[in-house]
């Protein structure tokens, strides 16, 4: 019992510290990754001591874990730092998908994650109020406004609106689940805060993830509503094209994605064996990633890595769909929504930053009995 308590405490600390790479005052410094990474390494043997082991369901995950170091070796890369990170990704994938997924699968774990993620949403809303009151504020995107509303978008304490909106979405999903199970106003209040923060982040990827979540959640219960809801969504897009700023394009992704694909196809089997930023530097691209989890992973570890990562999503969703308990019913709309977020942001499975850790935890829950 004490060992499992230690697992929960260490896992909770990992989630908290995994937000460090996105905080303004650290902004991706090596120390920000080292601290949660060290705890993940500590959790690795602790998971085995508690008999938290992968099952036959985790075949895609096991292949994924093994493929990363093998791809690095066969790529011929001599990057020592990336070799260390590759081993860390493999260890982190096991810890997040298997150990932390089980640790956080109960109400205590969900409550912790809900409160932690809601903190970022609440902070973003407070910063917006400060700004509107004419007080010094951070976490505001000063270079743009939300169409029709005229408000400045928010991004809270984390670096980048897409990551903030992803956290707000996951916080909303957790609050929705806990409110649905308990009907407590506490969860309803956090649900409203997370939803408002998501909306005010003005992240179109998060809007799409939310639409997918609601569409799947409703149509699983009432399939006949799928087409009317889809028509309603399309009608909104047509009626308010200025809100989604469709003419604005994809904020550079329409350029970076084809380039990332070309770079990946130069080493399609085992990848480059280097970080994406290093590979992009060969083309004078200043971006640190393709802002697409699958393309980033393909550049590092080749097409087999993309296929394995994709099948982790498929397997987690398939196993969840077969279950009837509340946890897996909650995961049915959540997993495709996280998939959508992964198409527009980088959440490397096994990574040490919060988006990656949470993605691993929620996908791992899909494999639980």
**What pLDDT, in 10s, does the model give residues 154-186?**
888 776 778 889 999 999 999 999 999 988 899
Query: What does the pLDDT read at residue 28?
Result: 63
Per-residue pLDDT of 246-262, as tens digits, reads 556 556 777 888 888 99
Give Rg (Cα) of the chain.
20
Query: What does the pLDDT read at residue 349?
Result: 79
**pLDDT of 3 strictly over 60:** no
Q: Which residue has the higher pLDDT, 1 or 53?
A: 53
Render 22-61 in DSSP notation, one character per residue: GBTTTTT-HHHHHHHHHHHHHHHHHHHHTT----GGGHHH
**pLDDT of 197 strictly over 70:** yes
Query: What does the pLDDT read at residue 240?
Result: 62
Q: Residue 145: which residues within 8 A CB-CB, separation 6 or more? A: 151, 152, 153
Spatial distance between the Cα atoms of 259 and 262, rounded to a whole number of angstroms? 5
Mean pLDDT score, 317-340: 93
**pLDDT of 237 strictly over 90:** no
Query: What does the pLDDT read at residue 126?
Result: 92
Token readout for 42 is 């500590």
**pLDDT of 217 strictly over 70:** yes
Render 308-335 in DSSP notation, one character per residue: HHHHHHHHHHHHHHH--SHHHHHHHHHH
**pLDDT of 319 strictly over 90:** yes
* Alpha-carbon distances, residue 51 vs 133, 351, 356 (angstroms): 54, 23, 24
Query: What does the pLDDT read at residue 247?
Result: 59
Q: Which residue has the higher pLDDT, 130 or 141?
A: 130
Mean pLDDT of the chain: 86
Q: Which residue has the higher pLDDT, 29 or 209?
A: 209
List residues bridging with 158 in a β-sheet.
23
pLDDT band at 1 (very low <50, low <70, confident <90, very high): very low
Confirm if 352 and 35 have CB atoms less than 8 A apart. Answer: no
Confirm if 301 and 271 have CB atoms less than 8 A apart. Answer: yes
Q: Which residue has the higher pLDDT, 24 or 304?
A: 304
Q: Which residue has the higher pLDDT, 97 or 247?
A: 97
Query: What does the pLDDT read at residue 313?
Result: 95
Confirm if 34 and 2 have CB atoms less than 8 A apart. Answer: no
List residues bridging with 23 in a β-sheet.
158
Per-residue pLDDT of 27-67, as tens digits, reads 667 777 777 778 888 888 888 888 888 888 889 999 999 99
């Amino acid at each position: 019992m004490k060992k499992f308590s230690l697992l929960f405490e260490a896992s909770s600390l990992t989630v908290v510290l995994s937000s460090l790479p996105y905080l303004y005052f650290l902004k991706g410094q090596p120390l920000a990754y080292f601290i949660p990474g060290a705890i993940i390494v500590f959790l690795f043997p602790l998971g085995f001591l508690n008999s938290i082991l992968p099952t036959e369901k985790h075949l895609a995950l096991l292949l994924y874990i093994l493929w990363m170091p093998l791809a690095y070796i066969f790529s011929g890369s001599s990057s020592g730092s990336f070799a260390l990170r590759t081993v860390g990704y493999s260890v982190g994938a096991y810890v997040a998908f298997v150990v932390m997924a089980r640790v956080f699968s109960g109400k205590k774990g969900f409550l912790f994650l809900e409160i932690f993620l809601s903190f970022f949403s609440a902070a973003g809303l407070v910063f917006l109020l400060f700004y509107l009151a004419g007080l010094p504020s951070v976490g505001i995107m000063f270079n743009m406004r939300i169409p029709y509303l005229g408000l400045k978008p928010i991004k809270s304490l984390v670096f980048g609106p897409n990551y903030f909106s992803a956290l707000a979405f996951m916080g909303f999903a957790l609050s929705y689940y806990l409110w649905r199970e308990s009907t407590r106003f506490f969860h309803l209040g956090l649900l409203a805060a997370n939803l408002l923060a998501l909306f005010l982040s003005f992240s179109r990827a998060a809007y799409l993830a939310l639409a997918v979540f609601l569409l799947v959640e409703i149509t699983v219960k009432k399939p006949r509503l799928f087409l009317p809801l889809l028509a309603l969504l399309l009608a909104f897009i047509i009626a308010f094209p200025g809100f989604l700023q469709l003419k604005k394009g994809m904020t550079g992704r329409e350029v970076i994605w084809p380039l990332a694909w070309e770079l990946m196809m130069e080493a399609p089997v085992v990848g480059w064996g280097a970080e994406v930023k290093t590979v992009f530097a060969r083309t004078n691209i200043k971006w640190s990633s393709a802002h697409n989890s699958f393309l980033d992973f393909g550049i590092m570890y080749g097409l087999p890595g993309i296929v394995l990562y994709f099948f982790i999503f498929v397997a987690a969703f398939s196993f969840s769909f077969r279950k009837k308990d509340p946890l897996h019913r909650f995961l049915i709309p959540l997993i495709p929504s996280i998939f959508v977020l992964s198409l527009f942001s980088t959440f490397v499975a096994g990574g040490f930053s919060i988006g990656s850790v949470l993605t691993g935890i929620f996908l791992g829950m899909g494999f639980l009995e």
